[in-house]
Amino acid sequence: MEVVMAKTRAFFALTGRAVNEVLSFFVFSILDVLDFVLCYAYRVADFLIEAEWKPCYCSPAKEAITGGGKILVSERGESKVVRLTSSSKLQLEEISDTLYARPSCVAEVSKCTERKRGRGRSVFAVNAAIVEMLQGKIGGRKFSPFPRWSDCDCEIYYVQEDVLFIHGFISSSAFWTETLFPNFSKSAKSTYRFFAIDLLGFGRSPKPADSLYTLREHLDMIGRSVLEPHKVKSFHIVAHSLGCILALALAVKHPGSVKSLTLLAPPYFPIPKGEQGTQYLMRKLAPRRVWPLIAFGASLACWYEHVSRTICLLICKNHRIWNFITKLITRNRIKTFLIEGFCCHTHNAAWHTLHNIICGTAGKIDSYLDTVRNRLKCSVTIYHGRNDELIPVECSYNVQSRIPRARVKVVEKKDHITIVVGRQQAFARELEEIWKSSKGN
């Protein structure tokens, strides 16, 4: 009887996976077409509303040749030249190829995609939109400070609240201020200064329309808005999801300053030998599956530039309405701030941060973890929800395999968000114990 039941369960599991595969292929093939159509719709809308053709990342990458301190790229029969400086070389290296190299479902299934290789010269693939942005930055052109027509036009101001809290993707400082901050003890509040950071492009931080939102830009913003003005010399870091990458980079940049490192659901996927890091990580993080729902949302955000821009147009540009509806229906402050954090960004900020931070740093994370292991003496604690369907628990154990002294705490019956939300009192006490035990470091 047990054998029959096991075979039945295996049959249904196999059938479920097959249905998910077929349905996912069908849905994402339609989304491939939709994003293609929206590309041209947005080009026309941008021209009519902003009187300028705006570049996007849909045009195929072209071979770029470096020589004499220049980049030469051919696009639609015209040659564009950008003169490289040391800073622009670094900026180019920080740009993830997943911005402009995302093969469609049909292309992947038919195995028609090709990899470009340079032979005997400095050749690489680059997108014309990136070249145009670099031309403007290097040439000293002043970009418009106004947001694009499809983005929110809220007045921008800073929120600053000697512990650094770094939120995750499409979130904000409220992820910490509305959950943990009210639950810290009086002793902790009198002992530590808490800084909940709104990352560049999120929450109430600036959202420059022409920024590429690279790792360097995010770290520079943290330095200019928090570390320098408040003379932060020694600090603890608490980071969630995407914020874990920035936390590691910040720790590497200030190895003598970090007292403890607490990472929640770090998105670390070791890259198999022979795989291209950025593309591999994009497939792992956004597998183009309709279920679970959070994977479907990640796939929309990661693969489809214009579909995700449309979502931002409908949601983020009209965030006041959604906030009002949420407050009216739920009357629950926790749910309200989650919606506010989800809506308070622009497509430009979300799109570039997703690709240039999560995907673009795939080849750097190993070196960051090795530096934390070898050069930093701080404690490393990792929390992960057992039911996290976006970042699997294996990611935290992958970090531990790289930093053996790291302690991994798996929280049962909690997911990517409820690892904090819903257990804020308990987590606040746990953090206080971590900071207290780290005073000797």
Q: Is 60 exposed, middle or buried (0-12, 13-18, 19+ CB in 10 A)?
A: exposed
Q: Is 273 exposed, middle or buried (0-12, 13-18, 19+ CB in 10 A)?
A: exposed
- 210 classed as catalytic: no
150, 205, 225, 241: the active-site residue: 241
Q: 205: alpha, beta or left, given left = phi > 0 and alpha = psi -120 to 50? A: beta
Residue 26 has a CB neighbour count (10 Å cut-off) of 12
Which two tokens mark 9? Answer: 């369960």
96, 150, 167, 236: the active-site residue: 167
Residue 72 has a CB neighbour count (10 Å cut-off) of 16
- 241 classed as catalytic: yes
Tell whether omega for the bond before 292 is within 30 degrees of 0, i.e. cis. yes
Residue 159 in contact with residue 198, Cβ under 8 Å? yes
Cα angle for residues 414, 417, 419 (degrees, 5° grid): 45
Could you say which DSSP state residue 60 is in?
P
Phi, psi of 125 (to 5 degrees): -95, 135
- 416 classed as catalytic: yes
Residue 5 has a CB neighbour count (10 Å cut-off) of 9
388, 396, 415, 438: the active-site residue: 388
308, 396, 416, 438: the active-site residue: 416
Whose tokens are 């404690």? That residue is 379
Residue 394 has a CB neighbour count (10 Å cut-off) of 13
Residue 20 in contact with residue 291, Cβ under 8 Å? yes
Residues designated as active site: 167, 241, 388, 416
